[in-house]
Chain A
């Protein structure tokens, strides 16, 4: 079992819709959870992080964490074609290093 699992996609959504990206992790000791966005040919950039159970909102983005189910998700409201990218979920345990999933490719079509 991979430490951090994501569906590779592609996830295709129409412009204006809500995109829902999901991630599960295996280590119950995980403490911090991150979503990075990576455009093709570019480096990952942080979108959001979440530490506590529940929802955290930042503009069009909402991160949701459920530690009991070992599940973290990212919702993108009013999806735009510019949101088309690969979204990487990352998990931090007690050390300083992040464990990344392989990413979900999102396609937003006009």
Chain B
């Protein structure tokens, strides 16, 4: 059974460019979370979805960030325009409300570097 899949695994871009990060949750999971991790701030929740609906986006840093979940098997996190301070590791995680609902399974992360 495949875990959470994220792409790309690494992204290097220049300031001002648009960046799109992708996530495929574990099949059957109805919650999807986007996190950002930096040395200074640790692991921060950006936004999460339940049944494809955004529930809490209070962690999204500013309007440059947007996230969508068009269906149960796909989500995107977009940064437009990107800035050097957006450099971080972005994790996607999923879980199911049917079992240990709070056990979140993390993807491998996308390492973003904005020059």
| A95 close to B (CB within 8 Å) | yes
Nearest Cβ on chain B to A81's Cβ, whole angstroms: 23
Q: Are B43 and A44 in contact (CB under 8 A)?
A: yes
Q: Are A43 and B109 in contact (CB under 8 A)?
A: yes
| A87 close to B (CB within 8 Å) | no
Nearest Cβ on chain A to B7's Cβ, whole angstroms: 14
Q: Once bound together, how far apart are the Cα atoms of A102 and B31, in whole Å?
A: 23
* A98 touching B108 in the complex, CB below 8 Å, given contacts A43-B91, A44-B43, A88-B43: no
Q: Count of B residues near A, CB < 8 Å?
A: 22
Q: Are A103 and B42 in contact (CB under 8 A)?
A: yes
Q: Which residues of A contact B76 (CB under 8 A)?
A: none
Q: Are A101 and B42 in contact (CB under 8 A)?
A: yes
Q: Once bound together, how far apart are the Cα atoms of A33 and B115, in whole Å?
A: 37
Q: Which residues of B contact A97 (CB under 8 A)?
A: 33, 45, 48, 56
Which B residues have a C-beta under 8 Å from some C-beta of A? Answer: 31, 33, 41-45, 48, 50, 55-56, 91, 100-109
